[in-house]
A and B are shown apart, each in its own frame.
Chain A
């Protein structure tokens, strides 16, 4: 079996498995997996920037929230249907990521982290400032009638799961195609040695800007879909913790791997869910798990598998 066939079999197999799981999972885990797939799509977006282009952002909540509020405000105040709402969310994320990219990419390393963090904080405070429209920290609740897409009620468990799977499949397959295309190879080259990539004649700034925009749009799309599927658009999703979460998910799963974000999100979700039933210090458990993984599996779960067993993993 060629590497290409293995890659297609593994990723296709995961999507088929996720499709099949909806028929056997108990209700609680069925709902969880739908949520995990949406959050994993957010992490997939983050991974484009961090894992492939080597740009460590501390402000990705801004893109997630841009998509979420772009959709939410269009639906709530503009009376938009879900599809125009989603398009509004994508447009908002595109505009925000382009603006942030143009400005933040003037810096590098720690400077880039701080600038993205500051932009995200400014975005969070902007949402609070325009409380008349956003309802500030309390957020907006989308009613069931506002969440019907082409006659399909997104509040139903089955349709919600399928919509989440569709989003995740699109994000994974798009990322897979991207990293296997010359564009993805250039991003990896920039991550590994930016000067060398520049000397080879690549317009590094343009590639990095494209990575920021693609990452921002995927994250924004995940935010918009999250709002539609779970009926809530809130400022918490723009707060700093939602910038840290995708970083953790990607680190746990494996930065620079297509499946790492999903594995990391799944692992972290159930780590918190299970440990919170035992102790109120569940974030400490998550922290210890992160430290252990950093010590013993610095490439993340999927990254270690790639290093040790399946070297063909993208």
Chain B
């Protein structure tokens, strides 16, 4: 009876479910295939985490223009893997909490393939954990040392701009041999300033120099006159890196303090990004030196790559917008967006990227990158990418302000910025 019954039903409940599932799959196959076809012609979505508002707004505006220009070029050349590139912009308010929310939005609402374009270190630090958890490749353009220090995760990479440790270290040989060996550092009293303090102190000592005073300026300070008397008389070089609107007051008060007899002065252009160097009050900077990520002024021996890049982003020979000469760019940093977008393209092409399932392959493809030649895609200079630390290395520029124009005096080698690896992200799992 039992046997007959078994024969009559023919299948178990599990077997019936399997048959139903197989049948359902078979009938849906054409639709399924059509969907796959549709998906491959869908755009590649890059979520651009933009500092549209907040303290980073000036940078954000130019990061946006650079991104648009690079995306336009990529699309004109056929997109990525035959698919158009779409930039999805979300404002993070230059705030780490909102930054993390924006990353979540890219991953789970906009269905972006990657996140990209963050500058400010605290926004990167706040957002990167969520990018890692959501397994969203996160290409930052921050110059912070947070990536190469090992603080972040396998999904966070910085392939388009060098980090502050590399930049600062590469400055020391020039400063020690051309400007002086006894340095007083003036820096903002927070993480960015502390990075300069720590990395430069070590680098100048390695060159036989020394930091004779370290003046940390609280971020709320609006007047600096009380700090200048603390500069030791033996100082040969003042190294300054100030950020924010107070920089104009800083320079003016420094000029009033020293008058015509001043030590050599070396600064990071971060202080004066998006600021017209010929603004009233900045006259005192004439004859001083600056680090520049990429020379703001078109040089006499301008490379064809800089010319190409400058034209496409819409920047004149003085580093201002072609449509408004008063709208000065953040030229020393924004190339990072351009280069990063081309790295994303190259990485996706190397990985045969089709969709989110290929995100680990994309990361591995980027990690496998090494040399990036000086080209239209890398107009700032040739680069070497370190897949273990997820950080790119490249040349730095030292310019002198002469006649109201920044003229390049020295270009460092890529090797000047090397330091021992502090992490191996490739050993982390996906």
Residues on the A chain within 8 Å of B151, using CB: 141
Contact B125 A131 (CB under 8 A): no
Residues on the A chain within 8 Å of B90, using CB: 276-277
Contact B218 A26 (CB under 8 A): no
**Is A35's beta carbon under 8 Å from chain B?**
yes
Residues on the B chain within 8 Å of A32, using CB: 101, 104
Residues on the A chain within 8 Å of B100, using CB: 230, 232
Tell me whether A137 and B91 are in contact in the complex, defined as CB-CB below 8 angstroms, given that A234-B96, A236-B122, A283-B53 are known contacts.
Answer: no
A-B contact count (CB 8 A): 99
Give the number of residues in A that approach B within 8 Å (Cβ atoms): 35
A258 to B: closest C-beta gap in Å: 25
Which residue, A138, A237, A283, has most C-beta atoms of chain B within 10 A?
Answer: A138
Residues on the B chain within 8 Å of A193, using CB: none
CB-contact partner of B191 in A26, A27, A136, A232, under 8 A: A136
B161 to A: closest C-beta gap in Å: 16
**Is B43's beta carbon under 8 Å from chain A?**
no
Nearest to A31 among chain B residues (CB) is: B104
Contact B125 A232 (CB under 8 A): yes
**Is A28's beta carbon under 8 Å from chain B?**
yes
Contact A280 B125 (CB under 8 A): no
Contact A139 B126 (CB under 8 A): yes
Tell me the complex Cα distance, A62–B395, Å: 42
B338 to A: closest C-beta gap in Å: 23
Nearest to A142 among chain B residues (CB) is: B129
Number of contact residues on B: which range applies? 35 or more
Contact A141 B128 (CB under 8 A): yes
Contact A28 B95 (CB under 8 A): no
**Is B2's beta carbon under 8 Å from chain A?**
no
Which residue, B96, B105, B121, has most C-beta atoms of chain A within 10 A?
Answer: B96
A21 to B: closest C-beta gap in Å: 15
**Is A125's beta carbon under 8 Å from chain B?**
yes
Contact A280 B53 (CB under 8 A): yes
Tell me the complex Cα distance, A282–B126, Å: 21
Contact A144 B190 (CB under 8 A): no
Contact B192 A141 (CB under 8 A): no
Contact A236 B190 (CB under 8 A): no
Contact B101 A137 (CB under 8 A): no
**Is A231's beta carbon under 8 Å from chain B?**
yes
Contact A136 B194 (CB under 8 A): yes
**Is A176's beta carbon under 8 Å from chain B?**
no
Contact A236 B101 (CB under 8 A): no
Residues on the B chain within 8 Å of A282, using CB: 91
Contact B189 A230 (CB under 8 A): no
Tell me the complex Cα distance, A310–B53, Å: 41
Contact A138 B133 (CB under 8 A): no
Name 17 interchain pairs, CB-CB below 8 A, sorted by A.
A26-B108, A32-B104, A125-B218, A131-B189, A131-B190, A135-B191, A138-B122, A138-B191, A139-B96, A140-B125, A141-B152, A142-B129, A143-B153, A155-B133, A230-B129, A235-B190, A237-B97
7 nearest A-B residue pairs (beta carbon): A231-B129, A138-B191, A136-B191, A27-B108, A136-B190, A28-B109, A28-B108
- Residues of B at the A interface (CB closer than 8 Å) are 52-53, 90-91, 95-97, 100-101, 104-105, 107-109, 121-122, 125-126, 128-130, 132-133, 144, 146, 151-153, 189-192, 194, 218-220
New A-B contacts (8) at CB < 8 Å, excluding given A135-B125, A144-B133: A31-B108, A128-B219, A137-B192, A144-B132, A230-B126, A231-B129, A231-B130, A236-B96
- Residues of A at the B interface (CB closer than 8 Å) are 26-28, 31-32, 35, 125, 128-129, 131-132, 135-144, 155, 230-232, 234-237, 273, 276-277, 280, 282-283
